């Protein structure tokens, strides 16, 4: 009897230990936050270069497509490799090859060739030095051919015969975007509402990810309509004038783009009691089909309102964050998401007393966009030279002027 008991205890102790070790391992294991799907598992092959092109550099495309080149040069796509935040993050994450397939997707942009994978998840590639590696092309990040070159042809939506290089006609320009702006998060141990950087899934409300989407569904996503505004001009210098798309792709790095996605107002609302005043800030996503902010879970908005007295002392303060919060360890769980879905409005109030010793003088309201989470910035050691956040809305209301004297 006694022996049976000790054996039972031993088994329980071993199970508890195994579970503790399992959890401990979950805290230190390298993490795959996304599934490596076919659309970006391998770099883009440049085995066939379409005649008469010689290099794959944006500089060469510029000889006939100068305006598009000038636009592309101003975008984060052209800095997807040199971007200092990306470089620090890449090193922090152990410089995995998989990161390169979206940030420098052409095989020649990568120092190593990918011969295959050692594991089923395709997170452990078999690498060999790449004799065709081109370090200048690498610096071009998401360069023209990263989007436009497939199997020796240039992808385009016109499919005309006037070009000097072979063309393959696309049904929709969005087909190019979904190659990199979609990742899947479906793994047994991962509980995402939306995949990481879920821009596309936010538009389709979680339905359909790259492979599962039909061409018609991809054409409906609207990416190029909002991110590549139409302009009338020749496609190539000296060619026929027609509707083309500007290569601008503005997003979180552009305050004007973020402002254009939002409608924000502050107004006084009915006082909750005598001797009190109340102001309300409304913020609505009127301009983005996906959530606002979207993209990496780093991106967030901070809405703050403060009431100050005449000497500048803070009497009342309200701060709210619109952010996607994910628990990464021991399991990946989407905890909560206070960002703005398309068309959605959020309301924030501030109330304060008017008859204290320090009469309120000023109400300040501000909405700030953050590219990087400050805690994460410190953890990965990113010593930013450019600001990581900026205001998209600022308002000061003078509380001492009675309403009828304002005009």
Distance in Å from the first CA to the final CA of the chain: 92
80 part of the interface to ligand HEC, by CB under 6 A: yes
Taking the least distance from each CB to ligand HEC, the nearer of 63 and 338 is 63
The count of residues interacting with ligand HEC (CB under 6 A) is 91
d(Cα 223, Cα 249) in Å, to the nearest integer? 9
85 part of the interface to ligand HEC, by CB under 6 A: yes
Q: Please, is 226 exposed, middle or buried when counting C-beta atoms within 10 Å of its C-beta (0-12, 13-18, 19+)? A: middle
What is the residue whose two structure tokens read 């000790």? Answer: 6
Taking the least distance from each CB to ligand HEC, the nearer of 198 and 360 is 198
**319, 304 in Cβ contact below 8 A?**
yes
245 part of the interface to ligand HEC, by CB under 6 A: yes
> Taking Cα atoms as reference points, which of 390, 372, 387 lies closest to residue 88?
372
Taking the least distance from each CB to ligand HEC, the nearer of 34 and 348 is 34
Taking the least distance from each CB to ligand HEC, the nearer of 224 and 365 is 224
| Closest distance to ligand HEC from the beta carbon of 71 (Å) | 8
User: Which of 101, 190, 210, 284 touches ligand HEC by CB under 6 A?
Assistant: 101
280 part of the interface to ligand HEC, by CB under 6 A: no
| Closest distance to ligand HEC from the beta carbon of 364 (Å) | 23
Taking the least distance from each CB to ligand HEC, the nearer of 168 and 395 is 168
d(Cα 279, Cα 71) in Å, to the nearest integer? 42
d(Cα 279, Cα 403) in Å, to the nearest integer? 14
**In the complex, which residue's CB is closest to ligand HEC?**
156
Within 130-149, which residues bind ligand HEC (CB under 6 A)? 142, 144-148
| Closest distance to ligand HEC from the beta carbon of 238 (Å) | 8
User: Which of 41, 46, 64, 150 touches ligand HEC by CB under 6 A?
Assistant: 64
Count of residues in the chain: 407
d(Cα 287, Cα 250) in Å, to the nearest integer? 13
390 part of the interface to ligand HEC, by CB under 6 A: no
Compute the half-sphere exposure of residue 232: CA atoms within 13 Å on the CB side of its CA: 2
> Taking Cα atoms as reference points, which of 174, 249, 173 lies closest to residue 204?
174
Rg (CA), the chain: 26
> Taking Cα atoms as reference points, which of 241, 247, 252 lies closest to residue 58?
247
226 part of the interface to ligand HEC, by CB under 6 A: yes
User: Which of 35, 42, 89, 283 touches ligand HEC by CB under 6 A?
Assistant: 89
322 part of the interface to ligand HEC, by CB under 6 A: no
Taking the least distance from each CB to ligand HEC, the nearer of 104 and 350 is 104
User: Which of 137, 251, 281, 308 touches ligand HEC by CB under 6 A?
Assistant: 251
Q: Please, is 121 exposed, middle or buried when counting C-beta atoms within 10 Å of its C-beta (0-12, 13-18, 19+)? A: exposed
**348, 320 in Cβ contact below 8 A?**
yes
d(Cα 322, Cα 299) in Å, to the nearest integer? 9
Taking the least distance from each CB to ligand HEC, the nearer of 295 and 360 is 295
244 part of the interface to ligand HEC, by CB under 6 A: yes
Taking the least distance from each CB to ligand HEC, the nearer of 176 and 307 is 176
Q: How is residue 39 written in tokens?
A: 């659309």
User: Which of 185, 195, 295, 360 touches ligand HEC by CB under 6 A?
Assistant: 295
Within 151-210, which residues bind ligand HEC (CB under 6 A)? 154, 156-160, 162-165, 167, 173, 176-177, 179-181, 183, 197, 199-200, 203
114 part of the interface to ligand HEC, by CB under 6 A: no
Taking the least distance from each CB to ligand HEC, the nearer of 260 and 321 is 260
63 part of the interface to ligand HEC, by CB under 6 A: yes
> How far is the CA of 107 from the CAs of 56, 132, 222, 296, 301, in angstroms?
11, 8, 29, 25, 37
d(Cα 279, Cα 303) in Å, to the nearest integer? 13
| Closest distance to ligand HEC from the beta carbon of 130 (Å) | 18
367 part of the interface to ligand HEC, by CB under 6 A: no
**78, 72 in Cβ contact below 8 A?**
yes
User: Which of 35, 42, 61, 281 touches ligand HEC by CB under 6 A?
Assistant: 61
Q: How is residue 220 written in tokens?
A: 């409906």
């Amino acid at each position: 009897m006694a022996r049976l008991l000790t054996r039972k205890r031993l088994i329980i102790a071993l199970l508890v230990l195994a579970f503790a070790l399992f959890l401990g391992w979950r805290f230190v294991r390298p993490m795959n936050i996304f599934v490596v799907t076919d659309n970006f598992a391998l770099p883009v092959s440049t085995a066939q270069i379409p005649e008469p092109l010689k290099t794959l550099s944006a500089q060469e495309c510029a000889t006939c497509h100068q305006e598009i080149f000038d636009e592309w040069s101003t975008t984060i796509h052209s800095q997807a490799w040199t971007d200092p935040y990306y470089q620090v993050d890449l090193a922090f994450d152990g410089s995995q090859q998989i990161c390169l397939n979206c940030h420098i997707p052409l095989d020649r942009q990568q120092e190593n060739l990918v011969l295959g994978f050692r594991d089923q998840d395709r997170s452990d590639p078999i690498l060999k030095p790449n004799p065709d590696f081109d370090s200048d092309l690498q610096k071009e990040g998401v360069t023209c051919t990263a989007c436009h070159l497939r199997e020796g042809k240039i992808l385009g939506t016109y499919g005309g015969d006037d070009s000097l290089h072979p063309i393959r006609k696309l049904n929709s320009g969005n087909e190019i975007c979904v190659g990199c702006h979609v990742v899947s998060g479906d793994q047994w141990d991962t509980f995402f509402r939306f995949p990481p950087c879920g821009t596309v899934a936010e538009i389709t409300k979680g339905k359909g990810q790259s492979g599962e989407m039909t061409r018609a569904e991809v054409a409906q996503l609207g990416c190029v309509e909002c991110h590549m505004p139409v302009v009338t001009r020749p496609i190539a210098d000296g060619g026929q004038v027609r509707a083309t798309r500007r290569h601008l792709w503005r997003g979180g790095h552009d305050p004007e783009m973020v402002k254009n996605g939002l409608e924000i107002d502050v107004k006084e609302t009915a006082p909750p009691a005598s001797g009190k005043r109340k102001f309300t800030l409304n913020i609505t996503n009127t301009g983005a089909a996906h959530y606002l902010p979207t993209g990496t879970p780093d991106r967030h908005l901070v809405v703050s309102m403060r009431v100050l007295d005449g000497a500048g002392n803070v009497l009342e303060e309200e701060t709210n964050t619109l952010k996607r919060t994910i628990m990464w360890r021991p399991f990946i769980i989407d905890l909560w998401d206070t960002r703005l879905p398309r068309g959605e409005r959020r309301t924030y109030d501030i109330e304060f007393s008017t008859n204290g010793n320090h009469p309120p003088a000023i109400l300040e309201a501000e909405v700030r966009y953050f590219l990087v989470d400050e805690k994460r910035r410190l953890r990965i050691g990113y010593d930013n030279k450019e600001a990581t956040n900026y205001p998209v809305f600022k308002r000061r209301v003078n509380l001492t002027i009675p309403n009828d004297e304002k005009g």
